[in-house]
Structure 1
């Protein structure tokens, strides 16, 4: 039996996705032998990711299986396939067959985003955060008077897009990367959002004055990298964010704390919040998309909701 049989079985039953989504999540540990693999669809391109070096011999049956299934579910359409081989710090990406549109625009949950599969570790849209974006949309939509959202570590501003589409009046997006925020601006334009958002290419930890002056906020979203040398290290830097939350949130305001690190459990966030921001009460953990199921919830993406006290 092929050691990657679970991946081949998943490919054999794929249906044509209607939007950008993950199709196979070996990283969750539920498919022994396939822990290195994930398969995503960024319309109209398949992205196969390996977290280990992979030989052409290992790759061949996977590529063949995907080509065969694609011919069944999308007859006449070319197979566009990108391979990324990566570790925590580096990525090597190559086009195996077909082509990648430029610009490459995908849809997810009723919104449009620009993605870039052929460069960088990340691709412009985090598919595992689908339920986090859904929570933000529903939270804002249920509060027609919600005025101000602070989106820290905004990256390409997907949270901002969904918040504004749901009716938020103002979103402040802050990220060190001006290039990521530039794509964020394009994402707003793709969705017809011509006002309401600001984009600040600042180091968050040296910008608390700016952040405070623009507050208080009805919703604060924290979605930092788990580790980015010279920028953010969860073990020491998340606490700096938590301490600020009580003073930045409006009465009854909410904070969404996100962390995607298999090394840190939900308790890593919850225990520090009890110590550093005891005024805020824990509301819920947002479930991850079903396809991202993991043998341990503590290894998986953490998305926690907290609430500030009323007046």
Structure 2
């Protein structure tokens, strides 16, 4: 665990939400089970497995020591989430952690819930995806599938999108998404549809065509979406959803599925589209294998001749 302690001892006090240490990438032997995130003013340690009392005490002491150096006089707020046997447990290590609070990223504001399950409300590894959307959304109608808390929608509208259609089965997540728009002073331009996508293709298609379609599904959600089986059903709809010259953002966070899976799906299910580029991940998310890391592929519908 020395690499994690070294990261804590040298980290700066961030202002934006971000990952600080990514042991899951396999570049720090002995730390593969650990991650450290900053959701200011809260530090979040995650261990994929059980954490001993000794580990908790040592890491809390290390965080307290660094906090005293980089934010003298400010209390340490830290929690630990352990994930094992298909469940998660969250423990406050120090200070106080609100039920929800607002964090920032590139000037945008998002509400997070750090003690509510494994998904906190903002996926930090998708930061470059949000930057790409903000930079390329100008003037487009955008379809945001599996919208979750609608961070992509906020980025698109900040980038000048004409309209964003957000679709997700979870009304609670969309409610947080509506709050995220309000937090950023966005009071129009977004639709929020709490629908099952696979029974709503007609409505989604009628609201198009779109200049940008974002697909960021869960890799495995029992009874809802399994990437190996269901991603093809998404990709084959793209030609009907995109206008000529439009783009699609295909996202996949499944370490066991390589980038070639997405490229093969495009070739088989939507050969009209041209793969353009794979977006980089934030540098802190470096991985021993690019196929294990988050994959975000940009594809383009050719313009009319």
TM-score range, shorter chain: over 0.9
Pairing 1:56–2:53 present: yes
Residues 182-261 of structure 1: pairs in structure 2 closer than 5 A: 182-261=175-254
Of 127-136 and 94-103, deviating more is 94-103
Q: Is this contact kept in 1: 2:272–2:301, CA < 8 A?
A: yes
Q: Tell me the CA shift for residue 109 of structure 1.
A: 1.2
Cα offsets for 1:131-186 (capped at 9, x unmatched): 0000101112xx4x32x100000000000001001110100000000000000000
CA distance in 2, matches of 1:164, 1:58: 43
Residue ranges of structure 2 left out of the alignment (5+ in a row) = none
Report the count of equivalent residues.
304
Instruction: Say yes or no: does 1:100 pair with 2:93.
Output: no
Q: Which residue of 1 aligns with 2:164?
A: 171
How much is the aligned-residue C-alpha RMSD, in angstroms? Answer: 0.9
Distance in 2 between residues matched to 1:275 and 1:231, nearest whole Å: 23
| 2:143 paired with 1:150 | yes
CA distance in 2: counterparts of 1:198 and 1:97, whole angstroms: 40
What is the aligned partner in structure 1 of residue 134 from structure 2?
137
Name 1:65's counterpart in structure 2. 62
Q: What is the CA deviation profile of residues 14-50 of structure 1, one whole-angstrom value per residue up to 9, with x for unaligned ones?
A: 1111210000000000000000000000010000000
1:27-46 alignment to 2 at 5 Å? 27-46=24-43
User: How far is 1:110 from its partner?
Assistant: 1.0
Partner of 1:91: 88
Structure 1, unpaired ranges of 5+? none
The yes-or-no answer on 1:281 pairing with 2:278 is no
Among 98, 123, 126, the alignment partner of 2:123 is 126
3-state SS in 2 of match to 1:17: coil
Q: 2:106 aligns with which of 102, 105, 109?
A: 109
Correspondence for 1:272: 265
